[in-house]
Structure 1
Amino acid sequence: MALARSGTLVADAAARRGAVAAFNIITLEHAEAVISGAEAAGFPVILQISENAVKYRQSQVLPLARAAAESACAASVPVALHLDHVKSDALLRQAADAGFSSVMYDAAHLPYEKNLAATRSAADWAHSQGLWIEAELGEVGGKDGAAPLDAHAPGARTGPHEAAAYVAESGVDALAVAIGSSHAMTSRTAVLDHRLLGRLREVLGVPLVLHGSSGVPDRELSAAITGGIAKVNIGTALNIAMTTAIREALTTRPDAVDSRTYLGAGRQAMAETAASLIKLVATAA
Structure 2
Amino acid sequence: MPLVTTGELVARAHAEGCGVAAFNVITLEHAEAIALGAERAQAPAILQISQNAVAFHGGRLGPIAAATAAVARASSAPLALHLDHVTDPELLRAAHPEGFSSVMVDASKLPYAENVKATADAVRWGHERGLWIEAELGEVGGKSGEPPLDAHAPGARTDPAEAAAYVADTGVDALAVAVGSSHAMTTRTASLDHDLIHALRAAVPVPLVLHGSSGVPDTDLRTAVAGGVVKVNVGTALNSAYTSAVRTALAEAPGVDPRPYLTRARQAMTTTVTHYLSLLGPC
**TM-score relative to the length of structure 2:** 0.98
Q: How does 1:101-120 map to 2 (within 5 A)?
A: 101-120=101-120
2:251 is the counterpart of 1:262 = no
State the one-letter code of the partner of 1:279.
S
State the one-letter code of the partner of 1:98.
E
The 1-side partners of 2:135 and 2:281 are apart by: 22
Alignment CA distance shift 1:152-1:74 (3 Å): closer
2:69 is the counterpart of 1:69 = yes
State the one-letter code of the partner of 2:4.
A
**Alignment partner, residue 148 of structure 2:** 148
Deviation at 1:152, TM superposition (A): 4.4
Deviation at 1:153, TM superposition (A): 3.2
**Alignment partner, residue 37 of structure 2:** 37
Asked if structure 2 preserves the Cα contact closer than 8 Å seen for 1:20 and 1:44, the reply is: yes
Deviation at 1:139, TM superposition (A): 1.2
Asked if structure 2 preserves the Cα contact closer than 8 Å seen for 1:21 and 1:282, the reply is: no
Alignment CA distance shift 1:42-1:253 (3 Å): same
2:24 is the counterpart of 1:14 = no
Asked if structure 1 preserves the Cα contact closer than 8 Å seen for 2:84 and 2:105, the reply is: yes
Deviation at 1:144, TM superposition (A): 1.2
Asked if structure 2 preserves the Cα contact closer than 8 Å seen for 1:4 and 1:78, the reply is: yes
Asked if structure 1 preserves the Cα contact closer than 8 Å seen for 2:151 and 2:181, the reply is: no
Number of aligned residue pairs: 283
Deviation at 1:278, TM superposition (A): 1.0
Deviation at 1:148, TM superposition (A): 2.5
Deviation at 1:129, TM superposition (A): 0.6
Deviation at 1:88, TM superposition (A): 0.1
Calculate percent identity across the aligned residue pairs: 60
- After superposition, the C-alpha distances for 1:106-157 in whole angstroms (9 at most, x for unaligned) are 0001110000000000000010110000000001011111122224434410
State the one-letter code of the partner of 1:76.
S
- After superposition, the C-alpha distances for 1:192-219 in whole angstroms (9 at most, x for unaligned) are 0000111000011000000000000000
**Alignment partner, residue 162 of structure 2:** 162
The 2-side partners of 1:244 and 1:58 are apart by: 25
The 1-side partners of 2:246 and 2:159 are apart by: 42
The 2-side partners of 1:112 and 1:179 are apart by: 18
The 2-side partners of 1:184 and 1:35 are apart by: 22
Q: How does 1:1-285 map to 2 (within 5 A)?
A: 1-254=1-254, 256-283=255-282
Gapped runs of 5+ residues in structure 1?
none
The 1-side partners of 2:155 and 2:113 are apart by: 13
The RMSD of aligned alpha carbons is: 1.0
The 2-side partners of 1:125 and 1:155 are apart by: 30
Asked if structure 1 preserves the Cα contact closer than 8 Å seen for 2:211 and 2:233, the reply is: yes
The 2-side partners of 1:223 and 1:153 are apart by: 22
**TM-score relative to the length of structure 1:** 0.98
3-state secondary structure, aligned to 1:97? helix
Asked if structure 1 preserves the Cα contact closer than 8 Å seen for 2:152 and 2:180, the reply is: no
- After superposition, the C-alpha distances for 1:177-236 in whole angstroms (9 at most, x for unaligned) are 000000000000000000011100001100000000000000000000000000000000
3-state secondary structure, aligned to 1:219? helix
The 1-side partners of 2:266 and 2:158 are apart by: 35
3-state secondary structure, aligned to 1:95? helix
State the one-letter code of the partner of 2:34.
V
